[in-house]
């Protein structure tokens, strides 16, 4: 139940980030809902389609759609009356949602018989896929392709999760450890502005 609640929280946070980008691009309400939706459930949809999981999770559980719709309304109303919000609120909330999405992706992939390596990849797709779609639609370079430590945190968290399971750790404990790993690395990257080295061709 705790993971489910955190999953809904992550869905709301990712949807809100889609709404904010739609606002910067001056989209109409339909565009806002579309961008929020692909951000919130895009990664999980790609994962389920790749795994052959039918029906896709948000078709089976429409609470995800309601969370997205309600988040769109609240975010659009809130941005009309801007208040001073700590700069770190959205990045930290995003990090929590990201960590939970990765763990859910890993766990579901293993349930469908995927190897640990594929499970880690599916965890990364679950956490980052929606953001990639959002950024592409918004004509920006996806965050996972920039130098910021984002996908790397997902990979390491997924690896810790699968390694824990291979060592006989209880699934719930392994998931929590994986979430903590992803979250810790992502929060450290936010606090100290950590980034990966840049690859650039020399002229």
Q: Where are the domains of the chain?
A: 2-192
pLDDT tens-place string over residues 63-121? 999 999 999 999 999 888 767 778 888 889 889 999 999 999 999 999 999 999 999 99
Query: Which run of H or of E encompasses 182?
Result: helix 171-192
Strand partners, 148: 195
pLDDT tens-place string over residues 114-151? 999 999 999 999 999 999 999 999 999 888 887 689 99
Look at the pTM and tell me if it is higher than 0.95. no
3-state secondary structure 124-178: HHHHHHHHHHHHHHCCCCCHHHCCECCHHHHHHHHHHHHHHHHCCCCHHHHHHHH
- CA pair distance 199, 133, nearest whole angstrom: 23
- Matching residue, tokens 């994962």: 47
pLDDT tens-place string over residues 152-188? 999 999 999 999 999 999 999 999 999 999 999 999 9
- Matching residue, tokens 């759609």: 65
Strand partners, 195: 148
- CA pair distance 52, 110, nearest whole angstrom: 13
Q: Are 129 and 46 in contact (CB under 8 A)?
A: yes
CB-based contacts of 40: which residues, under 8 Å, 6+ apart?
11, 12, 14, 15, 18, 64, 67, 68, 71, 130
């Amino acid at each position: 139940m705790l993971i489910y609640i955190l999953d809904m929280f992550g869905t709301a946070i990712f949807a809100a980030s889609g709404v904010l980008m739609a606002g910067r691009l001056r989209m109409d309400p339909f565009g806002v809902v579309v961008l929020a939706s692909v951000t919130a459930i895009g990664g999980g949809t790609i994962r389920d389609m790749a795994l052959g999981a039918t029906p896709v999770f948000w078709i089976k559980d429409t609470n995800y759609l309601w969370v997205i719709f309600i988040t769109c309304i609240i975010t659009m109303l809130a941005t009309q009356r801007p208040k001073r919000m700590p700069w770190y609120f959205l990045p930290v909330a995003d990090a929590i949602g990201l960590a939970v999405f990765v763990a859910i992706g890993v766990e579901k992939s293993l349930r469908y018989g995927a190897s640990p390596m594929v499970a880690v990849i599916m965890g990364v797709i679950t956490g980052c896929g929606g953001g990639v779609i959002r950024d592409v639609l918004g004509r920006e370079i996806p965050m996972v392709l920039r130098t910021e430590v984002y996908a790397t945190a997902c990979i390491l968290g997924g690896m810790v999760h699968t390694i824990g399971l291979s060592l006989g750790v209880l699934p719930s404990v392994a998931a929590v450890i994986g979430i903590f790993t992803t979250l810790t690395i992502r929060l450290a990257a936010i606090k100290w502005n950590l980034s990966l080295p840049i690859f650039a061709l020399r002229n």
